[in-house]
């Protein structure tokens, strides 16, 4: 049975950028076993109040105290908080592992929510009402001491909404305080208590749900919305709360174990999504086929074709950069809502990022090796010693890793897939123009030379040129174009390849650290 608990809030206030107040001195009490509906016009601060009570976003002013023994806090936002690629039961088992809950709890929760017959169904194939119940199932795994839901009936038909409120009623009857925001008047009638917020986050009513309309002199709950602007602030009747750090946080497994569990889930999601897997595997093959159609064999022979050798190495460097960037660019922006809830549940951002890298970097390493081996076998690369080929391969993997980290950073910074699509060309064009292949870095304008230092592709390109021996090939290969081109590049290919690797590794670490920082701010 859940641990009985209550919630006491005193003087909760929140101010957003620009000085607009979204919550104005709200004080209230929620008793154990009480089902509470928070209503009000759009922008009145309902979600802000819910997050403050749950501890998702602590208020700028006031205090919240969860009474009773420590327990887990369940929070269900408007967005789905579970991945949609896996069967429901498997999704819940991963959630249980991350929360340190026995997996046997999954079957119990599915029964409580009436989802037994949907256990083997992919989450994305569930109906809207079933997906909402699935999100609630994640929160019930740890037997929450309190449950908060942001507009759980939004988008549901009346029958599904009624079924969901019936479920929440049963949870409350078991002693769990349940607080939900809603725009649906029918939801209020099924609750014990109504909390009404006016614009500016002012509390204008906190009392029995069946007396709400009468308090405002309205015929029904829907009729009160036109009277909120002039409603008086409700008297402060809450019990003064003892200062507290907020609601207890859910436990989570240790960092190494958490990383491993997240990596397992990432692999399961990837293998279950056949379209994404086909794109990840197929796009490098398409690019490789285009390289084979673009490059003539023998460009690195004697005499060499210096302009072609430059372009071959540049496009290899850009190819491995593009692989890494596209692999990382959609990884985070599609699951921000899920990550936000899991961070609240105890998932750490470091293991989350590490799991992404652990899964994707080996795939990129295989793709890079395939690219280089095929190009070498078909004479699009010079005949290299084993050591030089290994150096070329290390450069390719580091270039992909750096681009993967950049993709993850951008994915964490944008809000949706459409924005990620707009970012892609903005990231690629500078990596073409300021690398030094089209125009050597030494002859660029000062601003262009400065820009080139920030391009990871520059260091990959120059490392490839060093390992391929471009300077010696152009100088001694017998082509009259070699010496002038070499003079334009000056010492671009003279830098030891190890220095280029250190720069690429440093940029990778920098991008991953910046990604963690963005997630810390946004989630």
SS3 content of the chain, % helix, strand, coil (to 5): 55, 10, 30
How distant is the alpha carbon of residue 295 from its chain centre?
A: 38
- CB–CB of 65/29 below 8 Å? no
- pLDDT tens profile 423-465: 999 999 999 999 999 899 999 999 999 999 999 999 999 999 9
**Counting beta carbons within 10 angstroms of the beta carbon of residue 507, is it exposed (0 to 12), middle (13 to 18) or buried (19 or more)?**
buried
pLDDT value at position 169?
93
pLDDT value at position 248?
43
pLDDT value at position 41?
84
Please tell me the distance from the alpha carbon of residue 288 to that of residue 294, in angstroms, as a whole number.
Answer: 10
pLDDT band at 252; cut points 50, 70, 90: very low
How distant is the alpha carbon of residue 358 from its chain centre?
A: 16
- pLDDT tens profile 291-318: 999 898 988 888 888 888 899 999 999 9
- CB–CB of 274/431 below 8 Å? no
pLDDT value at position 108?
92
User: What percent of the chain is predicted at pLDDT more than 70?
Assistant: 95
Task: Verify cis geometry, omega within 30 degrees of 0, for the bond prior to 303.
Answer: yes
pLDDT band at 236; cut points 50, 70, 90: low
pLDDT at 2 over 60: no
pLDDT at 281 over 50: yes
What's the rounded mean pLDDT across residues 66-81? 84
Q: Parallel, antiparallel, or unpaired: how do β-strands 193-198 and 202-208 relate? A: antiparallel
pLDDT band at 250; cut points 50, 70, 90: very low
pLDDT value at position 245?
38
pLDDT value at position 315?
94
pLDDT value at position 60?
86
- CB–CB of 412/514 below 8 Å? no
Most confidently modeled range among 17-21, 139-143, 317-321: 317-321
- pLDDT tens profile 106-137: 999 999 888 999 999 999 999 888 998 999 99
Q: Please determine, looking at this structure, whether the domain spanning 9-72+145-250 carries the CATH number 3.40.50.720.
A: no
pTM as predicted? 0.86
- pLDDT tens profile 464-494: 999 998 888 888 887 788 888 888 888 889 8
């Amino acid at each position: 049975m859940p641990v009985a608990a209550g919630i006491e809030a005193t003087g909760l206030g929140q101010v957003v950028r620009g000085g607009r107040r979204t919550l104005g001195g709200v004080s209230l009490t929620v008793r154990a076993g009480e089902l509470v509906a928070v209503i009000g016009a759009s922008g009145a601060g309902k979600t802000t109040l819910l997050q403050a009570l749950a501890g998702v976003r602590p208020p700028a002013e006031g205090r919240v105290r969860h009474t009773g023994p420590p327990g887990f806090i369940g929070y269900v936002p408007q967005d789905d908080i579970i991945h949609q690629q896996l069967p429901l039961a498997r999704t819940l088992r991963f959630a249980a592992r991350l929360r340190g809950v026995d997996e046997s709890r999954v079957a119990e929760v599915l029964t409580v929510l009436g989802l037994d017959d949907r256990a083997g169904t992919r989450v994305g194939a569930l109906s809207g009402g079933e997906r909402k119940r699935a999100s609630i199932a994640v929160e019930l795994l740890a037997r929450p001491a309190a449950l908060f839901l942001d507009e759980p009936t939004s988008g549901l038909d009346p029958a599904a909404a009624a079924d969901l409120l019936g479920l929440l009623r049963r949870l409350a009857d078991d002693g769990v305080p349940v607080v939900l925001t809603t725009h649906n008047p029918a939801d209020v009638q099924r609750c014990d208590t109504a909390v009404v917020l006016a614009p500016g986050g002012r509390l204008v009513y906190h009392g029995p749900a069946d007396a709400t309309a009468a308090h405002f002199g309205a015929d029904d709950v829907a009729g009160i919305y036109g009277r909120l602007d002039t409603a008086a602030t409700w008297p402060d009747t809450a019990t003064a709360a003892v200062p507290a750090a907020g609601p207890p946080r859910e436990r989570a497994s240790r960092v190494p174990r958490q990383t491993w569990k997240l990596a397992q889930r990432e692999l399961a999601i990837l293998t279950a999504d056949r379209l994404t897997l086909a794109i990840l595997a197929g796009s490098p093959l398409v690019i490789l086929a285009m390289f084979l159609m673009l490059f003539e064999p023998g460009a690195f022979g004697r005499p060499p074709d210096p302009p072609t050798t430059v372009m071959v190495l540049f496009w290899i460097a850009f190819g491995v950069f593009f692989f890494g960037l596209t692999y990382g660019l959609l990884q985070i922006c599609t699951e921000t809502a899920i990550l936000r809830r899991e961070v609240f549940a105890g998932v750490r951002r470091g293991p989350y990022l590490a799991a992404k890298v652990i899964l994707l970097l080996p795939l990129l390493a295989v793709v890079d090796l395939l690219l280089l081996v095929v190009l070498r076998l078909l004479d699009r690369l010079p005949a290299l010693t084993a050591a030089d080929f290994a150096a070329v391969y290390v450069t390719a993997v580091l270039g992909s890793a750096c681009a993967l980290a950049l993709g993850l950073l951008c994915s964490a910074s944008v809000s949706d897939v459409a924005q990620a699509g707009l970012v892609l060309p903005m990231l690629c064009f500078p990596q073409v123009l300021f690398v030094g292949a089209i125009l050597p870095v030494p002859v660029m304008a000062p601003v262009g030379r400065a820009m080139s230092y920030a391009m990871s592709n520059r260091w990959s390109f120059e490392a490839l040129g060093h390992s391929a021996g471009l300077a010696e090939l152009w100088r001694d290969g017998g082509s009259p174009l070699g010496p002038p081109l070499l003079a334009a590049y000056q010492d671009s290919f003279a830098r030891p390849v190890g220095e280029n690797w250190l720069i690429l590794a440093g940029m990778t670490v920098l991008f991953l650290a910046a990604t963690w920082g963005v997630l810390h701010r946004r989630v």
